[in-house]
Amino acid sequence: MSTLAKKSFTAEEYLELERKTEYKSEYRDGQIFAMSGASRRPDRITVNLTVLTGQHLRNRKCQLFTSNMRVLVEASSLYTYPDLSVAWEKPHFTDEHVDTLTNPTLLIEVLSPST
């Protein structure tokens, strides 16, 4: 029995595809993984954490980002969309698109039983 070979993508190819699509996906080790949608309970938790974290960080030298900001975890070459991320001082991005944060100080991911 034969198996189909998976296509491997470069990070540049992933970013080019990701910037054109309506749906978010993650990238690691040459593979692109579709992200599932949020359900009500984890979504409510994320909203509450966003409000609380924003209040706590008010008037500090940092910026809070929601799951719309892609993050590159350079140690593992993972491109992901955490539920919340915080960059202390000035945020750094991979390129002029300013859509991939590279210096998060804090990443928050709300898990559900399925994840």
Top CATH class of 11-108 equals alpha beta
Contact 104, 74 (CB under 8 A): no
pLDDT in tens, the chain (115 residues): 555 567 899 999 999 999 999 999 999 999 999 998 778 898 999 999 999 999 999 999 999 999 999 999 999 999 999 999 999 989 999 999 999 999 999 999 998 776 6
Rounded distance between C-alpha atoms, residue 73 and residue 31, angstroms: 15
Instruction: Give me the residue spans of the domains in the chain.
Output: 11-108
The pTM for the full model equals 0.88
